[in-house]
Amino acid sequence: QVQLQESGPGLVKPSETLSLTCTVSGGFMSTYNWSWIRQSPGRGLEFIGNINYIRLTDFNPSLKSRVTMSVDTSRNQFFLLLSSVTAADTAVYFCARQVYGVYIFDVWGQGILVSVSS
Amino acid sequence: DIQMTQSPSTLSASVGDRVTISCRASQSISGWLAWYQQQPGKAPKLLISEASNLRSGVPSRFSGSGSGTEFTLTITSLQTDDFASYYCQQYNSFPWTFGQGTTVEVK
């Protein structure tokens, strides 16, 4: 069965770029969207954006100016870059699989806490 | 963005109780609503899609109903594993948005 695992730094300095990787195991990346969602006490669950295997992306307009996503299907990985971070970007970041055309999140990674602090 | 509002924020219940959680959308989302369960320190788990479609492997004590702007998640005969937080998510209009959550705690 498909499993997702986030990885990356747990601490990022203000104004720098947050960089996370999600590794997909046990399945193929085609026919799904691959998403990033974050959770914080202040904002709750917030959809960040998604990418598919042909690199088409959709980003939440609230974050669009700061978000970059990419995918490497040969390594079964997809990536999140969030630039110019502030303390408000401190959150648990989840990667998730999104059913194409239905837009529900049926498989999630365990999440990674990223803190923004100097 | 479509705002999703859940009530109550916290619900105290006992094993065996029937529990109902409400989710209201700021505009009609037809039946494009999902429910998730989240245990502390874990990722959300998809329970229900299309407002009432129970996902494979989810116990039948969970059920969902509603359409338009008003939705309900019901747990009949609450079990120990069900003490958790529950979130609704709309997928009618981009960006996809979640409710703020309802925590079911031990009474």
Strand partners, A69: A80
Question: Would you say residue A8 has pLDDT above 90?
Answer: yes
Nearest chain A alpha carbon to B39:
A110
Rounded to whole angstroms, the Cα distance separating A59 from A50 reads: 6
Q: Which amino acid would we find at residue B46? A: L
pLDDT of A29: 86
pLDDT digits (tens, 9 = 90+) for B79-91: 999 999 999 999 9
Least Cα separation, residue B103 to chain A (angstroms): 13
Average pLDDT score over chain A: 95
B100–A contact, CB cutoff 8 A? yes
Least Cα separation, residue B100 to chain A (angstroms): 6
pLDDT digits (tens, 9 = 90+) for A24-42: 999 888 889 999 999 999 8
Question: Would you say residue B41 has pLDDT above 90?
Answer: yes
B87 in Cβ contact with B6 (< 8 Å): yes
DSSP category for residue B80: G
* pLDDT category of residue A2 using cuts at 50, 70 and 90: very high
B40–A contact, CB cutoff 8 A? no
Least Cα separation, residue B20 to chain A (angstroms): 21
Share of chain A above pLDDT 90, in %: 86
Chain A residues with CB-CB distance to B32 below 8 A: 103
The three-state secondary structure class of A87 is helix
Share of chain A above pLDDT 70, in %: 100
If you compute the radius of gyration of chain B from its CA atoms, what whole number of angstroms results?
13
Rounded to whole angstroms, the Cα distance separating A79 from A58 reads: 14
pLDDT of A20: 98
The three-state secondary structure class of A89 is helix
Q: Name which of B43, B46, B96 is nearest A94 (Cβ-Cβ).
A: B43
Chain B residues with CB-CB distance to A94 below 8 A: 43-44
Rounded to whole angstroms, the Cα distance separating A77 from A41 reads: 28
Q: Do B44 and A45 touch (CB under 8 A)?
A: yes
Q: Which residues, in sequence order, are CB contacts of A13 under 8 Å at separation 6+?
A: A116, A117, A118
Mutate to test the interface with A, among B32, B98, B103 (most CBs of A within 10 A): B98
pLDDT of A30: 85
* pLDDT category of residue B40 using cuts at 50, 70 and 90: very high
Q: Which residues, in sequence order, are CB contacts of A28 under 8 Å at separation 6+?
A: none
pLDDT of A42: 85
* pLDDT category of residue B57 using cuts at 50, 70 and 90: very high
Looking at per-residue confidence, does A42 or A2 come out higher?
A2
pLDDT of A89: 97
The mean pLDDT of A63-73, rounded to a whole number, is: 96
A61 in Cβ contact with A49 (< 8 Å): no
